[in-house]
Structure 1
Amino acid sequence: MADIQVTKLHTLTGHNDCIYALVEGCDPRYFYTGSGDGMVVEWDLLNPKDGKLIAKLPHSVYALEVDLKKNLLFIGHNFEGIHVIDLENNKEIWSLKITDQSIFDMKAINNELFVAMGDGVIAVIDIEKKSIKKHLKLSSKSARVMAFDKTKSKLAIGFSDHSIKIINTKDYTPEQLLNGHSNSVFALGYSPTQNMLVSGGRDATLKFWDTDSFLQTNNVIAHMFAINYLCFREDGMFFITCSMDKSMKIWDANEHKLLKVIDKARHAGHGTSINKVLWSTFNQTIISISDDRSISIWKVDI
């Protein structure tokens, strides 16, 4: 493996339960976390020790999304719906009860919010009208994760039925069905620079898909247990995965090769499942969140 230097810069605490949700702000200096304790917290990468409470909800928060154009933070409130925060004033401006299911992921695309839910439905919400525009029933099992291909206006959705479905965001039509995983799909990411979709899940494998042909181009046994999430660095050269096996791994996006393992034994990493990772576009640090109720910020020299 490559000689990559990893330094833990900060360990942030304050959540009282497992941390599930992580998203970068409109200003990437800030990021947001959501937890089983119902708290949503804003963190400042220039002053990371002091988190600011943005919302406190009665149920757990698995999903957060930021609308970069409108400066809005969407909170997925399990068994209820969504809450919308104006980040200019850090105030809730509207909410919408849309489900009695868990909300696992959200994507703001143009004037619509796509919401992935535990009953296999994708709810499409008109952000301007603050109302549900469409329900897309795509599976009998949970819709767990989404990734958006801006160049082709395609939304990839990973399901607990082991499949990945690709829909056209302009007319909501299903266009591709990708089968290959042997268990739930939890992680999806489009390369910023290649015609490539990477997927991972409970089967602990990474699969690489060509986004023109939708053929699988590679398959890598990547972790010991479930892959919970993956995130590309903004230049597309590398991506990072995190797992239920308590480790994070950095990969060469071109060669599909493992470059670095970050774990508790070698780097004082997380002690339990790592649920999400973010490769910051502000300063290229890596942010990780875990069932151990902590957030870690890592400096990586590649």
Structure 2
Amino acid sequence: MATTIEVQKLHTLTGHRDCIYTLEPSGENHVVFSAGGDGMVAAWNLNDPENGELIARVTSSVYALSYVPFRNLLLIGQNNEGLQVIDLQNKAILKSVSLPKVAIFDIKYSALLNKVYVAQGNGGVCILAADTFELQTITRSTDQSARSLALNSHTQELAVGYSDNSIRIFDAATMQLKHELKNHTNSVFTVAYSPEGDLLITGGRDAHLRVWEVQQGYKERGYTIAHMYTINHIAYSPDGRHFATCSMDKSIKIWDARTFKLLKVIDKVRNASHGTSVNKLFWTAHHNQLVSCSDDRTISVWDIKLS
């Protein structure tokens, strides 16, 4: 039976003064964090979305945030300035972590392994102890940017997408290189494991969405030309049955997670969507709402109804 999807724009959130590059979930389904070129980190309550709350202000642009559950901490990747650890309860800086002075493109936290992974513009992936935030080691496989990270909790693997067109799969505990995937023809901006951990989906500047079979040694299942321009991000729905992609072509697309059939296009003409590049998505279990952010300095909240 075919799925039909109805999309309604619920809210347009404003307040950022520059491009918004990243969104990050909190410990609650109805709260999402945002950050961008203005160095401001805001929290938005989807039950009262018009009023954003300033959480922190840093001196440089921010491409990456990561929430640490149980401890209620937010990690802020300040480009060229390292990592700020924010205690959300007190809105205080718990720690500033010095890292190589380059851009920070992604941050992932593993409670199981007690590690934080930081993808950097010099090709390095910094590994920090998650309890102390002390730098343990830096793994560098190329001098081109490490752009995106994904953790597979089923296999304890870390997938890293790079600007040398490659995806490298590491043992997340030891950082031993296990696989190198070279089918993309340009920078890999986004990598995402399926909730079951059996598939890796990747996208980037070549606008191709590629699907890899994890249990088959990351054999490529297939690909589709998903957008006109760069794919910036991939986000799975809370139930894992769908995923969304967003692009520099200003559109958001919703896909069937098993058949990879395109189900819906959200764009400016049809849905009064963003007017410039859509940079990041967050698909929350809060009423199945999809949140998107853009170079146009706005955040959109979408009601996604499946039938």
Structure 2 length as normaliser, TM-score? 0.96
| Pairs within 5 Å for 1:151-300 | 151-193=154-196, 195-213=198-216, 214-300=218-304
> Tell me, what secondary structure is at the counterpart of 1:152?
coil
What CA deviation, in whole Å up to 9, does each residue of 1:26-85 have, x standing for no partner? 122211001100000011011111001011111100000011132210000000100011
Asked if the contact 1:154–1:169 (Cα under 8 Å) also holds between the matched residues in 2, the reply is: yes
Amino acid across the alignment from 1:171: T
> Tell me, what secondary structure is at the counterpart of 1:265?
helix
Q: Which residue is equivalent to 1:5?
A: 6
Q: Which residue is equivalent to 2:122?
A: 119
Asked if the contact 2:153–2:197 (Cα under 8 Å) also holds between the matched residues in 1, the reply is: no
CA distance, structure 1, for counterparts of residue 69 and residue 185 of structure 2: 35
Offset of 1:170 from its aligned partner? 1.3
Asked if the contact 2:154–2:196 (Cα under 8 Å) also holds between the matched residues in 1, the reply is: no
Q: Which residue is equivalent to 2:32?
A: 31
Amino acid across the alignment from 1:170: A
Q: Which residue is equivalent to 1:19?
A: 20
1:130 to 2:138 alignment: no
Offset of 1:253 from its aligned partner? 0.7
The runs of 5 or more residues in structure 1 that have no matched partner are: none
Amino acid across the alignment from 2:133: K
Name segments (4+ residues, structure 1) moved above 6 Å: none
CA distance, structure 2, for counterparts of residue 278 and residue 179 of structure 1: 27
Offset of 1:205 from its aligned partner? 0.7
Amino acid across the alignment from 2:123: G
Amino acid across the alignment from 2:239: D
CA distance, structure 2, for counterparts of residue 128 and residue 136 of structure 1: 20
Asked if the contact 2:155–2:197 (Cα under 8 Å) also holds between the matched residues in 1, the reply is: no
CA distance, structure 2, for counterparts of residue 193 and residue 212 of structure 1: 11
Give the number of aligned pairs.
302
| Pairs within 5 Å for 1:133-144 | 133-144=136-147
CA distance, structure 1, for counterparts of residue 298 and residue 23 of structure 2: 12
Offset of 1:130 from its aligned partner? 2.9
Asked if the contact 2:236–2:243 (Cα under 8 Å) also holds between the matched residues in 1, the reply is: yes
Amino acid across the alignment from 1:236: G
Asked if the contact 1:158–1:187 (Cα under 8 Å) also holds between the matched residues in 2, the reply is: yes
Asked if the contact 2:154–2:197 (Cα under 8 Å) also holds between the matched residues in 1, the reply is: no
Amino acid across the alignment from 2:87: D
Asked if the contact 1:193–1:235 (Cα under 8 Å) also holds between the matched residues in 2, the reply is: no
Amino acid across the alignment from 1:107: K
CA distance, structure 2, for counterparts of residue 32 and residue 194 of structure 1: 26
CA distance, structure 2, for counterparts of residue 149 and residue 65 of structure 1: 16
Offset of 1:91 from its aligned partner? 1.9
Identity rate of aligned residues, in percent? 43
Amino acid across the alignment from 2:248: M
Offset of 1:95 from its aligned partner? 0.9
Structure 1 vs Structure 2 CA RMSD: 1.1
Asked if the contact 1:115–1:124 (Cα under 8 Å) also holds between the matched residues in 2, the reply is: yes
Amino acid across the alignment from 2:191: L
